[in-house]
Amino acid sequence: METRAPHRRASRKVEVQAAILGAGQRGRTGAAKQRLTGFNQVTGSSYMVFWPAMSPVSPVWPRKPNLCAFWVLRLVLLLSLKSRTEGTLQNCHWLVVLNKFENVGFHLSKDRFLEHQPVDTVSEVFSKLVDSPVDPQEKYLSFPYYLQINFTCPGEDSEVLARKGHLLGMKPMIQIDYIHSVNFYRWKPENLQILLEAAPMLSRAGDCHAEAMCILNWYTPMPLKNGSVVASVEVYTNGIGPFIPRKRFFVNMNGFLRKDASGAPVFTVGYESLSLKPSHFRLSKSRPLWYTMDHTPVFILGGFDNEKAILLSDSNFHDFVLLELSIDSCWVGSYYCPILGFSATIHDAIATESTLFIRQNQLVYYFTGTYTTLFDKSRGSRGWVRVLSSECIKKLCPVFVGGNGSEYILALTTGKNEGYIHIGTITDGLVSFQMVPDGWSICEKLPGLNCTIEWAVYIADERNLLLLVKTDSVQFYLVNFNLELKTLHILYKIPEFIPEAQNLDFLVLLGTETYTDTPMIPQGLYFNTLNNVLYIWGNFILQSYNREHFIFLADFPKESTIKYMLNSYKGHITFVTEDEEIWYFLEGGYDVYRIVPSQGWNTYFNLQKLEKSPLYSNDETLVSLFYEKNHLYELVYLFDNGKERLVRRFLPVGKLMEYDLPKPFKIGSQRENKIISFEYICPFKEIHLLDVPQKQHVERKESYLALPPLVSESSGFHNNYTLAVYQGLVYYLLWLHAKYNKPYADPVHDPTWRWWQHKIVYKDYYFYLFSNRLTAEGMYINMNAYQKLYNLSSDYSMADFVFLDKGNWFSITAALLSHQDTFTSADSPGAGLEVDRKLAVSVILADPECLSSSVTQEIHLNRNLLLFKIKITDKRKCSEQGITGRNLKKTSMLIKVLGASGKCFQATTLDTIIRGFLMTKIFIGCPPGKRLAFDVSYTVMHSQKINKHYLDCVVKDPEMPCFLFRDLFQPFFLVQDLVTGDSGSFLGSYVLKVVGGGRTEETIKDYTEEEIFRYNSPLDTTKSLIWKTKAERTTSDNKFYIMSHKSPGIEWLCSENSPCYDIIPTDIFPPEFFFKLLVSNRGVDDSTYCDYQLTFIVHIHGLPLSSKRSSFTFVVSSTIFLGLVVLYILFCLLWPHISRAWASLRWRINNIMASESYFTYATSTAGFSLQSHSSEESFKGPPRVDSKEGNVQAKKA
């Protein structure tokens, strides 16, 4: 350790110097370049330009650098770094709590994960953003919670360190990884990751008379994701400020909470106890923690003596509560349920993704949580539900790995149904049980009259049950029952006594070995689905790779009895005995190590007591053990007087084993002086992995980046307004991710392209406004800070798991630096063989029929270096075509340096790592993150080329272009990789079917299987075909055509009995029809394991009418036209005669009317003159004939 400490200090100084230097000077230091390059790719180059690392308080680019201040600041940083490495800051650790939206800014606030749906709290804020690139018309929602982040350092003022780190440019970085749901039928399997940067904010609690007196915290949104209830949050710094190691937290949804009348969260499964009491743990021994691996958001732990209580935690026991369960606890013992006594103890407790199971006496209960991100809210339980009420259940057995989209649990019966087993299936919160075998008992197939099932293991992918059965003659059998074939096979008869294996590490049981007089007492089974290794444990350990031949591990003493075991699924196994001893086993080997108690444990425990660690006590008891990301943790109750508490602490297995190593040495002489030389225990000096595959790509992780908006405040602190904007932007980014899964391919293969496509040209304008403090909202949203990342840089460690498609491969290189004596005989003949004996690497494949491996060795004698180039290739035979991410073949690869097991260690700042051993999970099948998309742009371009024209609809839709009915239609598709960003033409074969259609997009109807056959099959004889092609390839049953990118295309038919036949237009435009097409390469394309199923809609216009309707329309139209022509001709011929007759008629009528008017006027005038002559004569004389009035009257007449 003393030789490594100066090297670490030097490398840290180099990193800080490189952080202070400009972007163009960072390449001068190798170590710093690696670190800062990774950080640069996370944050984006534009981010580094706009916000220099040493200018957190001002976003404006400095016009003239101050070199004096630069070197002073550099000196201050180096001095603080030196004091940091020499002080106690190595023990700094992060603190993360959950805050509700309205509690942001309160330092001591802490909330529980109760709300599971987005809330509308930021829409009003976004409507006021006028000087930002966001669209105020869009609907921006937010997530209900924030993460409050801080750190603490023992013996130091954490608040002072936090302010100092902020002023120096320290920024906590947050990496959130979401675990997809077990039910891949309902939710698409995807590994989603988002990188966030925490925003600094001063606390609102108390009076802040000066900024230096306020408590500083960092905040970041806590996004939710549909189809996920488990999220790991990893916190680290950007490399500036105090050294704080990375730390991972689990922020999981808790579906077992509700709000009471006052709005406070309360548990639905029971009543929360105020505190834990020492009496809860004095009489109780340790018990296993059972749950579904990687998918369980809430852990439960029972086993409290005569207490109807459980421990519940939604953060992997960073915090926890004690709950008294609200169950009836009724006793129904009878003659068929031979239970000797009654106890309130919860004996078995199992947690799954959405449901909790417990057993009290012979009663079994379950409680389904309310997880709206997984299924409908109505499926949540209102109380504990009792199942198998007529059965006597003696034990619950967990199934750690689900399969076929479900989780499972096993219930072992006793009494009247002895020899049967109940399999519980949990799918979307729905629980169902099935008793097997059906109609006959397991005991009927075994020797003897009666039997009892002691343990059961269910292998979901194989549909096999492995049973540990004891007959009435006290003989144990390993039995396999297949649920599909309903067959039973006795795999192995367990020996009655423990074999004799003195001075041996292991013994292969062939039936010819000698035995001791100690009986074998099997207690349980454990099967690792990744490497197909089966363990039978009790007062012994048996190991098998094929379930028929077993290896006895001789290191485990027959005087101890194992009561439970746990597996990390990364090669590390832990056993716990009845005496609370902890034993460790490394898979792939045969050595079993006792780590507690041991000499190494005593040394480590005493060191912790000397350092006054609060996690250790002279009076303590083990509660449980569990693995978290390959690290072993223990729950321990400390009985310190006045400080009794339950703690979670890390158990450093590597360090304990290192302390236990012998220190061999030999005494030699040199010039009459005796010297001591220590011998090397580890066969190599150092080991490094080179040329490892990129983690992001092989783990199939879709990564997004979201940085907080910049604020114009001089101190760089955010407020509730800016954090609300940050929350809304993160929500919209993940909404675009979810919306991107659509059948039509965008012109740019990126989910965020549509967000900024019209705003990116104004990027410099928005930054100009912010730099000159002209924005009304006082913040700047960098469009490059919200993007999808396709090439994240990482360290040189191997990925935790690898996905392999058909025929794919990956390779790694292991560089082993040997000791000097390994090559002492290098100059002699056969030096290479001598090196192979001292230093060799083995590759163990769990399924050699599925994978192949090749190892190439290179010896560099002048450097004492050996290079092992390892290549793993899929054999193209162990998986069927399936939907992306579904029904993957689970296997693993193990790389071992021979002779290094339990002897090689490397100390780090966090742990002592066991070296010379590497286990990697491998999933064979269609990897997640791949999809098939309709390349509409190229299809339109190609259609214009082969048809010499392209006619779109009259009313154009840019999202769905139209295609003309009479044109040849040849679709093209893209295979898009959502992880790497690659997008290329699909060159495989596929089957195309019309599976639905309608006259409008809203009235599209899905067709039945019979209709699909009639509309698409060349064997159809009912005149129902919708389309045809000149392609000659068909499926094996000749039902459908097989097409590819080279096919001649599709000719639309719309035959007489098809749904698109004889479409009547509703307006002046030609008829239209929407076809729902299904494209699948399943069974016709052997280039991939992926079953690319794509369903998309094609809009066809210009459909012709039927021949009958066309003839009818033609006849009617012709008749009308001819009638109009005849009428026109007749009209033209008769019109002159009609005109003359009409004119003559009018003349005669006018004459008649004129004559009648004249005679009427003359008669009336004469009568009037005779009657009024005598009266008028006295007033005036008769009118003159030539007067004006006379003329007028004459004219009227």
List all residues 6 or more positions away from 983 whose beta carbon is below 8 Å from its beta carbon. 745, 749, 974, 975, 976, 977
Q: Residue 713 pLDDT > 80, yes or no? A: yes
* 1054 pLDDT above the threshold of 50: yes
Q: Per mean pLDDT, which range of 251-260, 351-360, 664-673, 1174-1183 is the poorest? A: 1174-1183
Helix, strand, coil abundance in the chain, percent, nearest 5: 25, 30, 45
Residue 955 has pLDDT above 70, yes or no: yes
Q: Quick check: 766 pLDDT over 50?
A: yes
Tokens for 580, please give them.
């609370």
- CATH code for residues 672-693+797-822+836-896+910-926: 2.60.40.1080
568 vs 589: CA distance, rounded Å: 16
What is the average pLDDT value for the chain, to the nearest integer? 84
User: pLDDT category, 65, cuts 50, 70, 90?
Assistant: very low
pLDDT at residue 1195 tops 60: no
Most confident of the following: 337-341, 817-821, 1096-1100: 1096-1100
Residues in the chain, how many?
1197
- Tell me the C-alpha distance between 560 and 574, whole Å: 14
Task: Give pLDDT, residue 864.
Answer: 84
**Confidence class for position 79, pLDDT limits 50, 70, 90:** very low
pLDDT of amino acid 108: 73
Give the pLDDT band (50/70/90) at residue 207: very low
Checking if the pLDDT of 34 tops 90, the result is: no
Q: What is the pLDDT of residue 340?
A: 55
317-350 tens-digit pLDDT: 999 999 999 887 665 555 567 665 678 899 999 9
CATH superfamily, domain at 449-596:
TolB, C-terminal domain (2.120.10.30)
pLDDT by residue (tens digit) across 780-814?
A: 999 999 999 999 877 778 999 999 999 999 999 99
Pick from 21-30, 444-453, 1105-1114: least confident: 21-30
pLDDT at position 61, please? 36
Q: Which pLDDT does position 911 carry in this prediction? A: 81
* 53 pLDDT above the threshold of 90: no
Q: What is the DSSP string of 460-476?
A: TTTTEEEEEEEETTS-E
DSSP classification of residue 1053: -
> Of 320, 953, 262, 215, which Cα lies nearest the Cα of 635?
320
- Cα–Cα distance measured from residue 398 to residue 997, given in angstroms and rounded to the nearest whole number: 47
Return the pLDDT at 1117: 84
Q: Which range (452-466, 593-607, 1179-1193) has the least confidence? A: 1179-1193
Residue pair 1010/772 in contact by the 8 Å Cβ criterion:
no
895-915 confidence digits (pLDDT tens): 999 889 889 998 887 788 999
1124 CB neighbour count, 10 Å cutoff = 10
| Residue where the block lists tokens 């269609």 | 926
Output the pLDDT for position 101. 86
**What's the token pair of residue 664?**
């061999």
The residues near 468 (Cβ < 8 Å, ≥ 6 apart) are 453, 454, 455, 456, 476, 477, 478, 479, 522, 524, 525, 536
Could you tell me which residues are beta bridge partners of residue 719? none
- What average pLDDT does this structure show over 695-710? 94
- Is a pLDDT exceeding 70 seen at residue 8? no
DSSP conformation letters of 145-163: EEEEEEEE-TTS-HHHHHH
Quickly state the pLDDT bin for 30 (edges 50, 70, 90): very low
Q: Predicted confidence band at 774 (pLDDT cuts at 50, 70, 90)? A: confident
* Dist CA 1092 CA 990 (whole Å): 9
Per-position DSSP letters for 23-38, written without gaps between them: GGGGGGSHHHHHHHHH
Q: What is the pLDDT of residues 84-105, one digit of tens each?
A: 444 444 578 899 999 998 888 8
pLDDT bucket at 675, cuts 50 / 70 / 90: confident
* Residue in the structure block whose two tokens are 């909330």: 111
Q: What average pLDDT score do residues 1014-1026 get?
A: 92
User: What is d(CA 1058, CA 1014) in angstroms, rounded to the nearest whole number?
Assistant: 8
Please report the pLDDT score of residue 639 as a whole number: 93
What is the structure's pLDDT at 889?
Answer: 94
Residues 949-957 have a mean pLDDT of 87
Instruction: State the residue for tokens 């390779």.
Output: 811
- Tally the C-alpha atoms within 13 A of residue 1108's C-alpha that lie toward its C-beta: 6
Token pair in block for residue 131 = 């000087």
Task: Give the pLDDT score at 40.
Answer: 36
How many percent of the chain have pLDDT more than 70?
85
pLDDT in tens, 219-267: 999 999 999 999 999 999 998 888 889 999 999 999 999 998 888 899 9
- For residue 594, name the pLDDT band (cuts at 50, 70, 90): very high
Q: How many angstroms from the chain centroid is the CA of residue 946?
A: 43
Work out the pLDDT band at 1178, boundaries 50, 70, 90: very low
Give the Cα separation of 899 and 683 in Å (integer).
7
Spatial separation of the C-alpha atoms in residues 1162 and 31, rounded to whole Å: 132
CA-to-CA distance for 969 and 947, rounded, in angstroms?
9
Phi, psi at 1124, each rounded to 5°? -65, -35
| pLDDT, tens digit (0-9, with 9 covering 90-100), for 422-469 | 999 999 999 999 999 998 999 999 988 889 999 999 999 999 999 999
Q: How does residue 187 score in pLDDT terms, banded at 50, 70 and 90?
A: very high
pLDDT per residue over 380-391, tens digit each? 999 999 999 888
Is the model's pLDDT at 27 over the cut of 50?
Answer: no
Give mean pLDDT, residues 837-844.
Answer: 87
Please measure the distance between the N-terminal and C-terminal CA atoms of the chain and give it in whole angstroms: 142
Residue whose pair of structure tokens reads 């912790």 in the numeric block: 608
Q: Is the pLDDT of residue 669 over 90?
A: no
* pLDDT for the residue numbered 81: 44
Confidence (pLDDT) at 1163:
53
